[in-house]
Amino acid sequence: MKTILLAGGADDLPAGEHNQIPKPMIEVGGRPIMTRVMDIYSHFGHRDFIVAAGHQAVTIKQFFANYHLMANDVRVSIDSGKIDLHPTHGAGWKVGVVDTGHYTSSSGRLRLLRKWVGDERFMVGYADALGNIDIESLLDFHDSHGKIATLTAVRPPARLGSVELLDSRVTAYTDKLRSQDAWINGGFFVFEPTIFDYLVDDQEPLEGAPLSQLSMDGELMAFRHYGFWQPVDTVADRKRLSTYCMSDPPPWLQLGRPAASKAAE
């Protein structure tokens, strides 16, 4: 199963960060946060990724083209330039990086990747938020309800993407967070290929009309996550996550624990 990482935004860098890199390339503990999101999926055996790039797409392409050099030890013959890799660990990732346009919305980026995922179920994640999501339980939950879409509902901190729930069904979706809302959209989606029928406007964000229409049609369900979840929206967020990297494992890789993630009660 393929996993799409949304990594194309141009205007959502934390205040104080320079805009010469995409937000998912911001380093957390010495590595781009996007690769730490990939660690979560990889833990559950999902290692086939498609990065929906836009802003500074070339930077992301260059990074992954050379990632094998950064992720492993190397032995270089200075005379010939021959490089021998000495793997330090086997990530086993396959990564496609697709330039989906500088100004394309998130739903437009997904629509442009239709030929990459074909007619199969796929997952979508934000490339700038970490959580100890039990991906296996998420997929089991998606299997159980038979609807088109599942999002992972999390507790704040978050600023946008409020969901109203009735048991596990999303009854309303709005991109405005009201103070009384207890759950918000944390990403970590599972979609059936019929999701593409809802992606009709390349300038409309996924979090706008598509999710709203899915909820009105009764086709959007929520997997409630009770564990760790943290986006990078501020410099303080980045520093906090970098501090967490000193833990072994960090909180987003404290996975598979019974109390960490579960379907709605």
- What distance in Å separates the CA atoms of residue 23 and residue 19, rounded to the nearest whole number? 8
Which tens digits make up the pLDDT trace of 146-193?
999 999 999 876 455 567 777 788 877 766 655 555 788 999 999 999
Least confident of 69-73, 178-182, 246-250: 178-182
Q: Which residues form the domain of 95? A: 2-74+84-243
Stated pTM of the model: 0.83
CATH number, residue 169? 3.90.550.10
- 188 in any annotated domain: yes
**In this prediction, what percent of the chain has a pLDDT beyond 90?**
56
CA angle 99, 100, 102 (to 5 degrees): 90
Whole-number pLDDT of residue 36: 95
Which tens digits make up the pLDDT trace of 45-65?
999 999 999 888 899 999 998
Least confident of 14-23, 152-161, 234-243: 14-23
- 157 in any annotated domain: yes
- 252 in any annotated domain: no
- 79 in any annotated domain: no
- 253 in any annotated domain: no
Structural domains of the chain, count? 1
Residue of 211 and 183 predicted with greater confidence: 211
Whether the predicted pLDDT of 6 surpasses 60? yes
- What average pLDDT does range 104-125 have in this prediction? 94
Least confident of 14-18, 101-105, 125-129: 14-18
Whether the predicted pLDDT of 91 surpasses 60? yes
